[in-house]
Amino acid sequence: MSRFVLWGTYSADALEKRVPFRQEHLTRLQSLKDDGVLITLGPTEGSTHVFGIFEADAIGTVRQLVEDDIYWKQGIWTALEVYPWVQAF
């Protein structure tokens, strides 16, 4: 298994736009965490960007997980990039 970093942006109206989808989003993230795929994920202060760390077999797996998230589907996340990550410490 490899680790991957997610870096993305939120829409300008993300705090309002996410309201009807928040519980679905959080429930899914908890499931990914319970499965050991999601290490951590959260917004930057001010909710302008999202940062996450995933553990998976391939970058495509992480991309698909992110694109399947309701925040991506509803335009709450507006740009997402996934990078292979080497944890030095």
pTM for this predicted structure: 0.92
Report the number of distinct structural domains present in the chain: 1
> 25 with 71: CB under 8 angstroms?
yes
> 79 with 6: CB under 8 angstroms?
no
**Domain of 81: which CATH number?**
3.30.70.1060
Model confidence at 87, pLDDT cuts 50, 70, 90, reads confident
pLDDT one-digit tens code per residue, 49-80: 999 999 999 999 999 999 999 999 999 999 99
CB neighbourhood size of 50 (10 A):
23
Distance, in Å, from the CA atom of 68 to the CA atom of 48, rounded to the nearest integer, reads: 20
Give the 3-state secondary structure percentages of the chain, helix then strand then coil, rounded to 5: 35, 35, 25
Domain that holds residue 52: 2-85
